[in-house]
Structure formats: C-alpha cells, structure tokens
C-alpha cells in the first residue's frame, strides 16, 4: 500500500523495509519504515502528498533523512506493543471496537501479573510462536505488564524482537490463567517446549497495536544491525544502503 503510493509519487518502485511485520488485523501507531528516496525530496511535501494517496486508515506522520547504516528492522533495539481488553458487560466502546477485544469472562489481574513475571528475560519462546523455517525463536522479553482502568485492561509488551504470533499467544495463554482455566505456573512451563504448544489460545488480532520502536544512537546503528543480522537471519541476507525513514 505505502510502496504503491511511493511508486505513484516518485514514478518508480521503491522497496520498503519496516521495523516489524504485523499479523492481519493487527494495528500500528508507531511503525517505522525506511526506503532509499531522492536526496532532494521535500519532506513536508512528501507527507502531504502521501496523505492524499493513501487510504484514510494509513498515515505517514513524518519523513526524515537517516544515516546510510540505518535499518528499520535490524537496527531496532526494542518493539513495543499494546493489547486492549474490555471487561465491561456491554463489550468494547463503539469508537474503540476496532482495537479493543471484548472479554466476557472473569479476569484475575493478580494471577496474570504473577504468571507474567517468569516469562521476562531471554528465553526460547518456541511454544508461543508459529514456526518459520530458518528463524530463531529466542527473544528477550523486556516488559509484560497488566493494568486496569475501570473496565478496560491494557497489556504492555516489549521485547528486542517478536516472532510470528508471539504477542497474541502470550496474551491468550495469560488470559486462560486470568479466567482460571490454567494454573499460574503454566505459561512458564511452556518455555521448556522446543516447538509450538497447540493448547495455547491465540488472542484476537484486533486488540493488538504496535505502538513504538526504539533505536540506538546513530553512531552505533551499523553495529546493532550487524549483531541482529548475525543472530536472526541467514548469511545470504543483503544489507541495504543509504535511506530515509518514515513513521
């Protein structure tokens, strides 16, 4: 979609690299992407033109020049996701129904908070990931917190990176704890699995939003990208050159 808009704007195809791919139905308010654009392109004009070319539910908020070493995917330090759950008897508020899941069951916040704690740190999250050939499932989970504001429960999840369906699987497993279907210790025992656990419920996509991506200082971008590539991709991956980024 954004690649098509850029192609219309620049009259040539421009490959786009994003910080993180999201499952169908998942939202993003903090996505970052990079592309190699003409050096003299007016950034404010580009944002305005893209606003006219893109559908109303896709916006580019800013365009800026970045060092040639910047890589939206491999230079990232952390990704931050938020999952929204309504425990109200009437379900999600109509104006937030697209990004909030209605939960018609009990939800014990003390239980899900206790079950979340052992999952923090670096582990093999294979039990919570849909397998992809050649991809590692080792991740550093940096945050997994639950908070309630009246009848809205918000889950904040951060990691150095996520594998396919990892966030939704973590939330789904913990929701089973919160409704009393699973013991508090159960999610942590899944870390011993070497492959996906079929009994883990994947939470609905619409409740999940990518809200932010963190990057290191410019002078360490290249080092970070090299380190991440060495850990997570095959040796045949090619490093991109100079670029611009958009949010």
Task: Establish whether domains 1-21+31-76 and 78-210 are of one fold.
Answer: yes
Contact assessment for residue 45 and residue 227, using Cβ atoms and an 8 Å cutoff: no
pTM comes to 0.88
Buried-exposed string 165-175: b where 16+ CB fall within 10 A, e elsewhere: bbbbbbbbbbb
Please identify which of the residues 4, 23, 42, 218 carries the catalytic annotation.
23
What pLDDT score was predicted for residue 119?
98
Structural domain boundaries in the chain: 1-21+31-76, 78-210
- 97-127: per-residue pLDDT in tens? 999 999 999 999 999 999 999 999 999 999 9
Specify the higher pLDDT residue, 131 or 95. Answer: 95
Q: Summarize pLDDT for 226-247 with one digit per residue, the tens.
A: 888 776 543 223 333 344 555 5
CA distance 156 to 97: 19
Question: What residues contact 51, with CB distance under 8 A and at least 6 apart?
Answer: 59, 60
Give the architecture (CATH level 2) of 78-210. Answer: 2-Layer Sandwich (3.30)
CATH number for the segment(s) 1-21+31-76: 3.30.70.580
Is 23 tagged catalytic?
Answer: yes
């Amino acid at each position: 979609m954004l690649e098509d808009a850029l192609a219309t704007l620049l009259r040539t195809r421009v490959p786009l690299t994003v910080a993180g791919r999201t499952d169908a139905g998942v939202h993003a308010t903090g996505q970052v992407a990079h592309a190699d654009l003409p050096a003299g392109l007016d950034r404010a004009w580009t944002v305005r033109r893209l606003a006219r070319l893109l559908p109303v539910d896709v916006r580019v908020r800013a365009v800026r020049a970045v060092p040639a070493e910047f890589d939206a995917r491999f230079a990232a330090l952390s990704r931050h996701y938020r999952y929204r759950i309504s425990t109200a008897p009437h379900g999600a508020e109509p104006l937030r129904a697209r990004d909030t899941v209605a939960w018609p069951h009990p939800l014990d916040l003390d239980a899900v908070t206790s079950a979340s704690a052992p999952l923090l740190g670096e582990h093999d999250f294979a039990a919570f990931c849909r397998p992809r050939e050649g991809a590692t499932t080792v991740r550093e989970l940096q945050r997994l917190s639950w908070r309630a504001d009246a009848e809205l429960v918000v889950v904040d999840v951060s990691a150095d990176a996520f594998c396919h369906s990892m966030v939704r699987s973590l939330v789904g497993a913990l929701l089973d704890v919160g409704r009393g279907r699973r013991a508090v210790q159960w999610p942590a025992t899944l870390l011993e699995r070497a492959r996906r656990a079929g009994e883990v419920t994947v939470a609905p996509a619409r409740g999940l939003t990518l809200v932010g991506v963190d990057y290191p200082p410019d002078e360490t971008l290249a080092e970070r990208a090299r380190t991440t590539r060495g850990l997570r991709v095959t040796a045949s991956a090619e490093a991109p050159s100079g670029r611009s980024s958009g949010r």
